[in-house]
Chain A
Amino acid sequence: MKVEFELNGTRVGADVEARTTLADCIRDQLKQTGTHLACEHGVCGACTVLMNGQAVRSCLILAVQAQGERVVTVEGLSRDESLTPLQAAFRKHHALQCGFCTPGFITTAHALLTEEPEADEERIRDVLSGNLCRCTGYVPIIQAVLEARSAYAHKGNEE
């Protein structure tokens, strides 16, 4: 069946089976491979994308559920060659090693700080506890997100 939605600012369409997940549709058919699959059962958060600004697990959403919606993946967060303040903070604090879980952390943290730019450390840890990272031990990720808060302070609900 046909599905159409907005992906990183562009109208896209795909011909999918009813059972095709949004993650597989984005990766295999729309060739945006920044969204990663690490568990495919909704626990690790690596596949997190933004749907209408909300962080969702694209391995648990069917592609057809995205019909008419606005989807943003990690590729859609930085529009030019530079890093966003959140991405730059990750780099500065060495908040990634192998990089595989990173897109999910970036999208999750982006959604959190967009809605709650003043989130405190406990809140950040609580929200990010839905994403698994095996390399960093999370300490530098939390530092990076804390530092990136200032960039979201008066930005409003922009993606």
Chain B
Amino acid sequence: MRIANSYIGQPIERTEDLRFLRGRGTYVADINRPRQLTAVILRSSIAHGRLNGIDASRALQLPGVHRILTAKDFDTEIPRIALRLQPLSDLEPFHQPMIADQKVRYVGEPVAVVVAETAAIAEDALDYIAVDIEPLPVFVSREQADAALLFEQHGTNCAITWKALRGDADAAFKMAEYVRRERFKVQRHAAMFMEPRGFVADWDGQKLTVWGAAKTAWYNRRLLAASLRLPIEAVDLVEVDVGGGFGSRGEFYPEDYLIPAAAKVIGRPVKWNEDRREHMIAANHAREVECEVEIAATRHGRVLGLRGQIWSDVGAYVRTNGSVGPRNVAQYMSGPYAIENIELTSSMLLTNKTPTGTYRGPGRFETDFIRERMLDLVAKDLNIDRLELRRRNLVADRQMPYPLASITPYDSSTELDSGDYHAVFDRCLAEFDWKTKEQFSGRLIDGYYHGLAVGSFIEGGAAGPKEQARLVLEPDGTLSVYLGSSSVGQGLETIMAQIAADATEVPYEKIRVLHGSTSHVKEGYGSYHSRATVMGGSAILLAAEKLKQSIKASAAKRLGCAAEEVVLDGEQARGGNRSIAFAELIEVPIEIEAEFFNNKQTWAYGTHAAHVAVDPGTGHVKVLDYMAVEDVGRTINPATLHGQAIGSIVQGLGGAFLEHLVYDENGQLLTGSFADYLLPTASDFPKIRSLTVDLKPCPNNPLGAKGGGEGGIIPIGGIMANAVADALKHLNVQPMELPLSPPRVWALVEAAKAQLAS
């Protein structure tokens, strides 16, 4: 008999790599259809204005230009992009039209679609289109009050306000021995995945096929079908290889409608690929918040409450998941700490900038910056060791499950499911070697001031309501696994094959994973909120169990024994004293479907520690060492998990130090290229270490796993700001704003020196 499969937990080399490494991947730009035309999109160059007219007559004279489509060509009433998450009716007025029909509200908003023989011809045509936009006053920052209204009927630029509540914050602040109030700011930045978005749409008169789906194909299919007034069966979305997502790719954007609609109007396949500048003004931005928050504590450093107001700049419209960040920043500010009294409001502010959505660790990166900064300020004010302060406040194992603040108006309650937060905290300090490194705190060595910081975080995952898996076992013994989960580059094919191999005992090499396309399962959900492994993986487990029962039942008949006596090893069934090979037993493919339902989030958690060195003359910060420890309940593939952790950390360091989408007062983006918008490079952050532990399996799913794809990024802003403060403690430098760019850190140093001198 074969030895039982044990792929889960192994660093299996990825199936995907064999094609990616040899240039044989198929990304959407690699898809071409016969008779295909290419589209480019004319976008508003004005941040706010009334759209009075578009004259495309000159452009249409260019050889090779087929059509120039504006709002009136698409529909009598332009559909709006409905919200996928938190679909509150109060937010309906702020849904984005698929193409501007009356007003433009940000630079980059689509106003026309040029369809031509080639992209070059279509781009030439852009210059010949005359767009008449009557400019309106522009609103880009909260200080301008409601100087210009984006939606006049609404009367204010505040869309809605979220409120996170727990306990009695006012009472806690009244009796607290210590209270501190501070203002914080996090800058606008974005996911900035490497493969630009794109679609190829083909309408054959009855069926619309769209290549380029990602993340949430089934939701997008429903919205696209409804927007085009087609039955849902007439629309298929196909996921090919996807070059990164990080929350942003795969949400329903205007182009998700415009390109298929153009193909339908014209009757020929239409292809569109955005360029980088376009990506930077068209795809979701994220993270821009400012706040005024108070913390209350006993004089022993036990945190009693959080209270305050947060403003989230959501840009010109509320997009599909535009509420997630503003909600999370309020609901999860307490993080892994037992803070019993919370009253935080988070207002979604509409501005004349690109609309926002989720980016890895949405709201969590921001809120952890705020909270971890405040904890270090409390420690300093009360003269308590910052490690000890955190130990006093981390949620204890015995307090699990631990409820977080509730949130309105789209109510959702959640509780931390399990964890030994103190054990992971201490493990991180040990791996980092805090004891030895502590001596560097605040020291000047070779012109650099050294600083340390530590911070803990929680990472929500496994959003419900469900995920589907369909298994097909062929007579030749190969197993096809069809999934509602989608791949955005995280190694889904490998991880799911590991889970399926262990669950079915089918040899790993005989398993094929197909994912993300709407033809694969009836109703998939996709990959977001660190959910694919838990949700898709658990659905595989349920389907595998049904598959085995089915095989056992048919084997029992052939072997002349009871189904319970049949033992399977993935290639044959044994029972009585006989055995039968699958190849002989299975005459037609066996097909099994299963759904895994879940209404509880998984809560992975961890602690990071960092050692930095600050050059006071330039403001440059070197990250000398970075240690991350996270408990994900059960690791499926340590290689892919560490890969995501380290990648996520470096993204977070980008957000902490480099990345900034800067707008001027006219609503023009000033950082529209990779020369202006700085991503981390190979020489920036060489020493990043990651360790995952499986201390506390998740009690809420059969895998015991917790979503772990985002965690790395969450605590970084706070840790880096605290490390800089620690390095410059002789000057009492206290960064309250990100990014910690050299000019900002330098200015903080200079201001602190001036303060000391006066």
Contacts and interface: CB of A to CB of B under 8 A. Distances in A.
Interface of A: 17, 19-20, 27, 32-41, 43-44, 46, 73-75, 77-78, 83, 87, 90-92, 94, 96-103, 106, 121, 124-126, 128-142
Given A99-B241, A137-B685, A73 B14 contact: no
A33 B644 CA distance: 26
A140 B643 contact: yes
B243 interface: yes
Interface stretch (B100-108, B488-496, B537-545, B586-594): B488-496
Contacts of A103: 23
Q: Which of A46, A73, A97, A138 has the most chain B CB atoms inside 10 A of its CB?
A: A97
Given A38-B276, A134-B679, A139 B23 contact: no
A125 B686 contact: yes
Interface string B236-279: 00000111101000000000000000000000000000011000
A19 B121 CA distance: 12
A138 B682 contact: yes
A27 B31 CA distance: 11
Contacts of A128: 681-682
A78 B16 CA distance: 16
Interface in B305-329: none
Contacts of B275: 40
B27 interface: yes
B233 interface: no
Interface residues of B, number: 58
A37 B18 contact: no
Contacts of A133: 194, 682
13 contacts: A36-B195, A43-B675, A97-B490, A97-B647, A100-B193, A100-B243, A133-B682, A134-B191, A134-B651, A137-B646, A137-B649, A137-B680, A140-B646
B22 interface: yes
B22 A87 contact: yes
A142 B686 contact: yes
Interface string B665-709: 000000001110001111111101000000000000000000000
Contact of B195 (A92, A98, A131): A98
Contacts of A99: 16-17, 19-21, 25, 241, 243, 489
Contacts of A130: 681
Which 7 pairs across A and B sit closest by C-beta, in order of nearness?
A34-B23, A98-B489, A99-B20, A100-B243, A137-B650, A74-B23, A43-B674
B242 A73 contact: no
Main secondary structure of the interface of B (DSSP, over half): loop
A94 B640 contact: yes
Contacts of A17: 120
A87 B21 contact: yes
Contacts of B650: 136-139
B194 A34 contact: no
B489 A100 contact: yes
Contacts of A32: 23
Q: Which of A39, A40, A135 has the most chain B CB atoms inside 10 A of its CB?
A: A135
B355 interface: no
Nearest to B276: A39
A46 B13 CA distance: 23
B14 A94 contact: yes
B646 A136 contact: yes
A130 B642 CA distance: 24
Contacts of A74: 21-23
B484 interface: no
Given A41-B674, A91-B14, A135-B647, A98 B679 contact: no
A33 B25 CA distance: 8
A77 B242 CA distance: 23
B681 A138 contact: yes
A103 B27 CA distance: 13
Q: Which of B193, B194, B488, B640 has the most chain A CB atoms inside 10 A of its CB?
A: B194
A9 to B, nearest CB: 15
Contact of A132 (B26, B194, B490, B639): B194
B616 interface: no
Given A98-B194, A98-B243, A132-B681, A91 B24 contact: no
Contact of B683 (A78, A125, A137): A125
Nearest to A96: B20
A41 B280 CA distance: 14
A95 to B, nearest CB: 9
Given A96-B17, A100-B25, A134-B651, 11 more contacts: A36-B195, A83-B18, A99-B16, A100-B27, A101-B243, A125-B683, A129-B683, A132-B679, A134-B192, A136-B643, A140-B643
Contact of B643 (A38, A41, A97): A97
Given A19-B120, A91-B14, A83 B21 contact: yes
Interface of B: 11, 13-14, 16-27, 29-30, 120, 191-196, 241-244, 246, 275-276, 488-491, 639-640, 642-644, 646-651, 673-675, 679-686, 688
Contacts of A75: 22-24
A97 B489 contact: yes
Contact of A126 (B196, B276, B683): B683
A53 to B, nearest CB: 18
A77 B22 CA distance: 8
B193 A134 contact: yes
B16 A38 contact: no
A83 B22 CA distance: 8
Nearest to B13: A91
Contacts of B646: 136-137, 139-140
Contacts of B491: 97
A129 B195 CA distance: 18
Contacts of B244: 97-98, 100, 134-135
B682 A142 contact: yes
A52 to B, nearest CB: 20
A99 B493 CA distance: 13
Contacts of B686: 121, 125, 138-139, 142
B640 A102 contact: no
B17 A34 contact: no
Contacts of B13: 91-92, 94
Contact of A131 (B242, B644, B682): B682
A129 B674 CA distance: 13
Nearest to A142: B682
Contacts of B682: 124-126, 128-129, 131, 133, 138, 141-142
B23 A91 contact: no
Contacts of B647: 97, 134-137
A134 B194 contact: yes
Contacts of A135: 194, 244, 489, 643-644, 647
Contacts of B21: 74, 78, 83, 87, 90-91, 96, 99, 102, 106
A17 B202 CA distance: 28
A16 B22 CA distance: 26
Nearest to B487: A98
Contacts of B680: 137-138
A33 B30 contact: yes
A16 B120 CA distance: 12
Contacts of B26: 33
Q: Which of B20, B25, B243, B674 has the most chain A CB atoms inside 10 A of its CB?
A: B20
B271 to A, nearest CB: 11
A137 B688 contact: yes
Contacts of B648: 137
A34 B644 contact: no
Q: Which of A37, A44, A137 has the most chain B CB atoms inside 10 A of its CB?
A: A137
A102 B244 CA distance: 12
Nearest to A78: B22
A121 B650 CA distance: 18
Nearest to B490: A97
Contacts of A35: 23
